[in-house]
Chain A
């Protein structure tokens, strides 16, 4: 008898305990799927480190409105197939309140149908303009688009009097999208594309493609790519004795690129976020403080900073600020608040989103950089 009594007591205590637990604020669940391994790992790795670091920081300060932030993470191994699988798991099983992630354009685009169905806000960390054009209700994006990169590069080329260029691109989503944007934009800048070559993301030698380019009258080479590919292209360009200017996209904006390409990287130009040159910005620049803060805290823990980790910072902050403003974990309210983001100073630039612009960055968010003496310098 007394045993039974004890049991009911225990049950009561347990249910009371549960009651207390549910009465306490529910955790904010932020899901993420990143290319922590695979060819795009040098993007996904700093992204994950950044997310973990800032989630810890936010929690240490007491969270958002008394709610702790919980990060649920999966590694896609840079495979769009895996990204879809993990996105489904985040949406259905983990029931996250928002997703910040998708390292590559391919994986981001692949999960968008599931996002739309599940009605959970999704902030992509990938480059392709296709992610936000046409605007999809639940999808946002932090990094500058490939179209902006192409525009920035063509502006610089025009200033140098270049009118014929050779295009070489990888076979990833970012690369292909960059190629399409470059082809579409070139005529507007009076630039003719005289060669159009491609390479595989795991290729180790691009001299054949570059030899073909060498036989054309191109005045500059433009490479859209991610991972080891652009570094090998850069090395191969020098190796073949090609002397025309080489432009890379913002896909190579990390110190690792300079290390891998070595001396061959000298003189390479690329558009990139201001993070890489934070110290040389004027004090009046609104971004300077944010950039230095991010840079210093990241470098204190993980070594050299890259703009990719910066995008993860931007994405996480935009989402958390939206949740803070929404004062609720209702996905619809969070989405609405993300869309209302105004004047958010991130590492990528100053974001002003709207119903028709789910990125919210202007062209001024990009700086044209040149690699000199193994370091970034701002052009002009």
Chain B
């Protein structure tokens, strides 16, 4: 029983780590502009599918991964430059609808380019299972956890210690004041889309060897990442990370201990409960305006 429990935990953390990276991407754009970017899941898909395409085209794995991430960042920048920036002055809801449109567009483009089939990315360092106690892990699981931890740490440092990071936060707080203080608001927004795309594509290439990828695979991951961000408290990057890991572990424990049929339901029920009793999420700041 202990062995099984350990296995559920390890699986859950791996799954959760990817949700966390996607959730982090949501949080960054939300922080910069108050917009929920529903194309975040498609960043994951573009990263994964791009890497797979390049590997099958003969590129060595590290090159393919970096190139795919660079490509996704370009997609993110293009999304901001050609879709979001064009709608300057539009309401937040209108921009959110634009991101939904962008996600449909990206999915369609991926369908045309890469077809409908599922594809697999080779494991980064072999697929011989590692035994830990009674549980097993793939080297890839370690990659997922390790790289996620590293990226999360980097993002955390970035927002708290660097001027650029603080400038982005300032933009979300009050764009007008930030602009008056000499912060190039538009460039900050562009930057936050690029950063989100980088994080999303990292999640994509990390899990592609474990979970396979197709043109549709961003949808579910995007949804789970969104849940992670909501659970942690929208706009709190570290909250999104915690939310992701909690969600992953809950899913895994739910599938193992209760019933695999209720796996997704369990996660969503917990989110409903959290939102009911703590509407700002587990780690979100209390906000509200008196009118």
Residues of A within 8 A of B253 (CB): 208
User: Which residue on A lies nearest to B215, using beta carbons?
Assistant: A37
- The verdict on B176 contacting chain A, using a C-beta distance below 8 Å, is no
* Majority DSSP secondary structure for residues of A touching B: helix
A204-B211, A205-B210, A228-B118 known; A197 vs B260 contact (CB < 8 Å): yes
Q: Does A51 contact B (CB under 8 A)?
A: no
Asked whether any CB of chain A lies closer than 8 Å to the CB of B196, the reply is no
The 8 closest A-B pairs by CB, nearest first: A204-B211, A208-B255, A41-B116, A208-B256, A211-B7, A228-B118, A207-B11, A209-B260
Enumerate B193-234 residues with CB–CB distance to A below 8 Å.
207, 210-212, 214, 216-217, 220
The 8 Å CB contact of A211, one of B4, B119, B120, is: B4
Q: Is B127 an interface residue (CB 8 A)?
A: yes
Report the bound CA distance from A45 to B156 in whole Å: 45
Range for the number of chain B residues in contact with chain A? 35 or more
> Do B264 and A200 touch across chains, with their CB atoms under 8 A apart?
yes
Return A8 CB to nearest CB of chain B, in Å.
51
A264 CB contacts on chain B under 8 angstroms: 127
Closest residue on chain B to residue A171 by CB atoms: B261
Q: Is B161 an interface residue (CB 8 A)?
A: no
14 A-B pairs, CB-CB below 8 angstroms? A36-B116, A41-B116, A171-B261, A198-B261, A204-B210, A205-B252, A208-B12, A208-B255, A211-B11, A215-B3, A235-B127, A235-B210, A240-B7, A256-B117
Question: What A residues does B117 contact at CB under 8 A?
Answer: 41-42, 45, 256
Given contacts A256-B117, A259-B120, contact A205 B11 (CB under 8 A): yes
CB of B289 within 8 A of chain A? no
Q: Which of A235-256 contact B (CB under 8 A)?
A: 235, 238-241, 256
Chain A residues with Cβ below 8 Å from B211 are 204-205, 232
Minimal beta-carbon separation of B77 from chain A (angstroms): 28
**Across the interface, do A231 and B118 meet the contact criterion of CB distance under 8 Å?**
yes
- Taking the complex as formed, is B81 at the interface, i.e. its CB lies under 8 A from any CB of chain A? no
B interface, CB within 8 angstroms of A: 1, 3-4, 7-8, 11-12, 14-15, 111, 116-120, 127, 129, 131, 135-136, 138, 207, 210-212, 214, 216-217, 220, 251-253, 255-256, 260-261, 263-264
A295 within 8 A of B: no
Our pick among B7, B212, B255, B260 for the contact of A204 (Cβ within 8 Å) is: B212
Given contacts A42-B117, A208-B253, A212-B256, 17 further A-B contacts (CB under 8 A): A37-B111, A38-B216, A45-B116, A171-B261, A197-B260, A204-B15, A204-B207, A205-B15, A205-B210, A208-B11, A208-B252, A208-B255, A209-B256, A211-B11, A215-B3, A239-B129, A241-B131
Interface residues of A (CB under 8 A from B): 36-38, 41-42, 45, 171, 197-200, 202-205, 207-209, 211-212, 214-215, 227-228, 231-232, 235, 238-241, 256, 259-260, 262-264
User: Across the interface, do A215 and B4 meet the contact criterion of CB distance under 8 Å?
Assistant: yes
Q: Contacts of B127 on A, CB cut-off 8 Å? A: 235, 238-239, 262-264
Kindly report which residue of chain A lies nearest to residue B7, judged by CB atoms: A211
Q: Which of B116, B212, B264 contacts A260 (CB 8 A)?
A: B212
Q: Are A199's CB and B260's CB within 8 A?
A: yes
A121 to B218, CA, bound (A): 39
Q: Given the complex, which residues of A lie within 8 Å of B207, measured CB to CB? A: 204
Out of B1, B14, B116, name the residue touching A42 (CB < 8 Å).
B116
Q: In the complex, are the beta carbons of B138 and A209 less than 8 A apart?
A: no
CB distance from B226 to the nearest CB of A (A): 16
Contact indicator A238/B255 (Cβ below 8 Å): no
Contacts of B12 in A (CB 8 A): 208
Q: How far is the CB of B260 from chain A (nearest CB, A)?
A: 5
A260 touches B1 (CB 8 A): no
A238: chain B residues within 8 A (beta carbon): 127, 129
Chain A residues with CB under 8 A of B111: 37
- CA of A37 to CA of B255, assembled, Å: 28
B250 → A minimal CB distance (Å)? 11
* CB–CB B212/A209 < 8 A: no
Give CA–CA (A198, B255) in the complex, Å.
Answer: 9
By a CB distance below 8 angstroms, the chain A residues around B116 are 36-37, 41-42, 45
Question: How many angstroms from the CA of A38 to the CA of B216 in the assembled complex?
Answer: 8
Instruction: For A35, give the chain B residue with the smallest CB separation.
Output: B116
Question: Chain B contacts of A228 at CB under 8 A?
Answer: 118, 212, 214
Give bound CA distance, A156 to B109, whole Å: 45
CA distance A180 to B220 in the complex (A): 28
Instruction: Given A202-B220, A256-B117, A260-B212, answer yes or no on A211-B260 (Cβ-Cβ < 8 Å).
Output: no
- What residues of B have a CB within 8 angstroms of the CB of A38 in the complex? 216
Considering the chains assembled together, what is the distance between the CA atoms of A363 and B251 in angstroms? 41
CB distance from A227 to the nearest CB of B (A): 8
CA distance A228 to B129 in the complex (A): 21
* Residues in B whose Cβ lies below 8 Å from that of A197: 260
Query: Are B4 and A214 touching (Cβ within 8 A)?
Result: yes
A97 to chain B, nearest CB (A): 29
Chain B contacts for A208, CB-based, 8 A: 7-8, 11-12, 251-253, 255-256, 260, 263
Q: Is the CB of B136 within 8 A of A260?
A: no
Complex CA gap A205/B36 in Å reads: 27
- A38-B215 Cα distance, complex, nearest whole Å: 10
